[in-house]
Each structure stands twice: as structure tokens, then as C-alpha cells.
Amino acid sequence: MVKLLQFLDRDFASGEPPKAFKTFHLIFLFSFLVFAIVLSIILYKSRSEKVTRLVVGLSWMVLVVVEIFKQIYATGHIDKNGKVYWTYEGAAYAIPLVLCSMPLYFIPMYLISWNKKVRKVLLDFICVYNLYGGAFVMMIYPGDVFTKNIFISFHTMIFHGTMLFIGIFLLWTQRVKMSFRTILNTFIILCMLWIVAIVGNEFFYQLHKAKKINVLVDILNISHRRPNPFAATIAQIVPGVKDWMVTAFYPLFTLMVCYTIFTVFWAAWLLIPNMIEKAWKKDRKITLQLASKKRREKLIAETFYATPAELLNTNQ
């Protein structure tokens, strides 16, 4: 364990963190974008929920693995005698209850849920929220996520790159669609998260005040008991924003940003993968014409593109 902690604690040779939109950042950004696009093309025709659960589940495993190493790095310390001890003191930032940690909890909820409607609500939220967190860090505002520590910089790129991949895959394969229902499902869960954060942050504040815990936990970084990092960032754009405003309007503000990003990627889907869809349909039309009746029924059942005319043809 000592060797692992020493390995994770290594810094870049230059002693400086990577720069936003420079080589280190762009390699990860384009790698995840290309992977998301290629896999979306390959699996575009499949409507199998097993495929969806497999892709999302494997992505979740990537998130879990890199997060475990982050927890080891953040909480593991070596004393003067060379012994390892564990504490979150000085590492409250690493407590996995921040905004981008939510996929760690919601994805397994989706994977183990037996109710189809619940799975749909969760999948809508997973798509929108991952696209929001992934795109925001990877493509919009990556400036403050890099450090001189090699592992943390790799962690943030892998974690948020995987989030971006999940969001793009679910949207561009139309497992999640642009609709009022998707917006409503996302907003409902955001409101539930907001309530949990408000109550939880007050609970942890009182525990910390009574000196029953050493570290003040800040769920989603929106505690009304401490300065809000989001407020400081927003105040640079909109002067006069107060900490309490971000806390009070968190669900609406987050939904607005989420769906701005979601709409941009949805528009990109209309321009790019829509052309792929036409190619799939043309190829599939030929396949259906050559297939037997039983084979046509199976093809239609397994793909997104069943039309009334095709359904009628299976009965001829």
C-alpha cells in the first residue's frame, strides 16, 4: 500500500498542471468522442435493453475503479514511521458526494431496478446528467480540474470522459430522446437530490459544529452554511450572485444548463448520426426484401425502424 500511495502521489516532471485544450487534454477529449461516436454507430440499430445495460454497466465499472484509486490517494497518508493511516481531513473535496459523483449511485439503481418505468426515469436522468457533467468539464470549462499530480489529472479526464461517453451513447443511439418526459424525469430527480442535499448538509453541519465529525461534508457543494464555489464562478459572469441564490435555485439552474448542453448534442445528432440512420435504413430495406417471413419478423423486432408497412409485409 505504501508503494501504491507513493506512485499515486507523483507529479508531472515539469511541476506544472496540464493546460486546458492543450495536448494532454485534447488526447483524452478526442479519444472519448471518437469512441462514443464509433460505438453509437455500431450499436445504433440495436434496441436490446441488455446492450444498453451492458454498455452503461461497463462504463460504471470504469467510474468505480478510478474513483477507488482517488479515494486511496486522497485519504491515504504515510506517517513518520512509514505506516499508512486513513483520514478525510484536508481532503473533503474527495468525499464522493459532489455533483459529478452522482452517476456512481444512479447507474447501479438503474441496473438493478426491476420496474420498467423506474428504469426509464433513471436512464433519462443518467443520460442528461452525464452529458452535462462530462461535456462541461471536458469541453466547456476544464481549466480548474487539472493539478500537477499525474493521477488526479488522469482521473478527472477518465472520469468525466466516461460521463461524456455515456451521455452521447444514450442520446445518439436514441435510447434517450429529446422530449418533455425526459425533461420532467430529470427535473424530478434533481429536485429530490436538492432536498437530500439541503437536509443532509444541515445535518452534517450540526455534527461538525458539535465536533462529532472532523470534516464538514458538503453534498453537491451547495451547502447554505459555507461559501459556494458555484456562486463565485457565476458571479464572474453575472455580478451580484449570492451563495444562497445558487442553493435556492439549484434545481432550475442545473436543469437549464443540463438542457442547454443536451440540446446542443441533440442538434449534433440531427446533423451527423441522422445520416447514418438513412444508410442503415437503405441497407435494411434490401435485407428485408431478401429475407424470409420469419426472418423479417425477427429483424423488425430487433431494430428501431419498424414501420406500419413493414409490419403488414410480415403477414403477407
pTM recorded for the entire structure = 0.83
Side-chain-facing half-sphere of 36: CA atoms under 13 Å: 28
- Hey, what's the cell of 140? 466547456
- Hey, what's the cell of 267? 442538434
- Whether residues 48 and 188 share a domain: the answer is yes
- Whether residues 250 and 292 share a domain: the answer is no
Read off the pLDDT of each residue in 55-74 and give the average, rounded to a whole number.
Answer: 96
Q: Are 18 and 153 contacting, i.e. CB atoms less than 8 angstroms apart? A: yes
- Whether residues 284 and 151 share a domain: the answer is no
pLDDT band for 310, please (50, 70, 90 cuts): very low
Question: Taking Cα atoms as reference points, which of 297, 279, 289, 259 lies closest to residue 41?
Answer: 279
Per residue in 222-235, pLDDT (tens digit) is 888 888 777 776 77
- Hey, what's the cell of 129? 446528467
Per residue in 235-293, pLDDT (tens digit) is 777 777 777 777 888 888 889 999 899 999 998 887 765 665 665 666 566 555 555 55
Among residues 271, 287, 303, which one ends one of the domains? 271
- Whether residues 251 and 303 share a domain: the answer is no
Q: How far is CA 65 from CA 1, 129, 207, in A?
A: 16, 20, 30
End-to-end Cα separation, the chain, in angstroms: 68
- Whether residues 186 and 290 share a domain: the answer is no
- Hey, what's the cell of 166? 455515456
- Whether residues 282 and 160 share a domain: the answer is no
pLDDT band for 316, please (50, 70, 90 cuts): very low
pLDDT band for 312, please (50, 70, 90 cuts): very low
d(CA 7, CA 4): 5
| Portion of the chain with pLDDT greater than 90, in percent | 51
- The whole-chain average pLDDT of the chain stands at 85
Domain residues for the domain of 123 are 2-271
- Whether residues 185 and 103 share a domain: the answer is yes
Per residue in 85-127, pLDDT (tens digit) is 899 988 888 999 998 999 999 999 999 999 999 999 999 999 9
- Whether residues 127 and 257 share a domain: the answer is yes
The pLDDT value given to residue 304: 45
Please give the tally of structural domains in the chain: 2
Read off the pLDDT of each residue in 71-98 and give the average, rounded to a whole number.
Answer: 89
Question: Taking Cα atoms as reference points, which of 116, 115, 151, 130 lies closest to residue 55?
Answer: 130
- Whether residues 90 and 122 share a domain: the answer is yes
Read off the pLDDT of each residue in 78-87 and give the average, rounded to a whole number.
Answer: 87
- Dihedral, 51, 54, 59, 64 alpha carbons, nearest 10: 160
- Whether residues 67 and 190 share a domain: the answer is yes
d(CA 194, CA 238): 23
- Whether residues 216 and 295 share a domain: the answer is no
Give backbone dihedrals phi and psi of 125, rounded to 5 degrees, phi first.
Answer: -65, -45
- Whether residues 212 and 261 share a domain: the answer is yes
The pLDDT value given to residue 298: 61
Per residue in 2-33, pLDDT (tens digit) is 888 888 888 998 889 999 899 999 999 999 99
Q: Provide the 10 A C-beta neighbour count for residue 256.
A: 11
pLDDT band for 307, please (50, 70, 90 cuts): very low
Per residue in 183-193, pLDDT (tens digit) is 999 999 999 99
